[in-house]
Amino acid sequence: MRYFVTFSYNGGRYHGWQIQPNGDSVQQQLQHALTLLLRQDITVTGAGRTDAGVHARKMVAHFDCHEAVDCQQLVYKLNKLLPYDIAVSQVEQVADDLHARFSATSRMYRYYLHTTKSPFLSFTSCELHYPLDFNKMNEAAALLLDYEDFGAFCKSHADVKTTLCHVTAAQWHQTSPTTWYFEIRANRFLRNMVRAVVGTLIDVGRGRVSIDDFKKIVEGKKRTEAGESMPAHALFLEDITY
């Protein structure tokens, strides 16, 4: 029997989602907790891989179990056993052929930034102190919907079979006079893609890169031409749809 686990986590203490040989990961914590509670070796498969320091407001993973599971009770027990920075909201039985990663139809990320010093945002938002033209940044962001190959924003030497993605939304939103977030939705994302896109859009906002230059960067498909990768702590996986 197959089960989906929906949960959230603060990625600050972890070396990303995926199990690592030399550091703690979210996958390792969840897998260990399920193995203890269900008293059998459990392997969890996540909907995607978040990098070290990246957070998830909604993450989904699946596992298979030989026996029926009391889903509500398992949620309670997982939350008692898991560390303070991982919280399970739902466990549900699904069809055996449903896959947390391959059955997902879209994923949505948000990158948060603020423009004045804040003791409350420092761990979940990127602090910037130079002027940014968000209208220009949104003009450039809208162009992402016209392209399919995002090799320019893929981490160099990443082990990927294709750099094609279908982006369906990309826009900056203002939430207060000093806080913003960039929201992007696509069927899939490349490693480091969102942080590289944000870094390049910030170059547009600072006047370092024109709209035409931005087009050339995307069309050129070279990571060396795009902007820097922004810090991980301000990035959230916000939603996954099936």
Q: Which pair of tokens denotes residue 128?
A: 């910037």
Query: Where does the chain have alpha helices with state H?
Result: 26-38, 71-81, 134-143, 193-205, 211-220
Phi, psi of 176 (to 5 degrees): -165, 175
Q: Which residues lie closer than 8 Å to 60 by C-beta, 6 or more apart?
A: 4, 5, 6, 7, 46, 47, 100, 104, 240, 242
Q: Is 212 a residue of the active site?
A: no
Would you say 232 and 54 are in contact if contact means Cβ atoms under 8 Å apart?
yes
- Angle (CA) 161-106-108 rounded to 5° is 105
Q: Tokens for 187?
A: 């069927």
Burial of 146 (0-12, 13-18, 19+ CB in 10 A): exposed
Which one of the listed residues 24, 51, 146, 239 is annotated catalytic? Answer: 51
Distance, in Å, from the CA atom of 63 to the CA atom of 44, rounded to the nearest integer, reads 5
Q: How many CA atoms lie within 13 A of 119 on its CB side?
A: 0
| Residues with a known catalytic role | 51
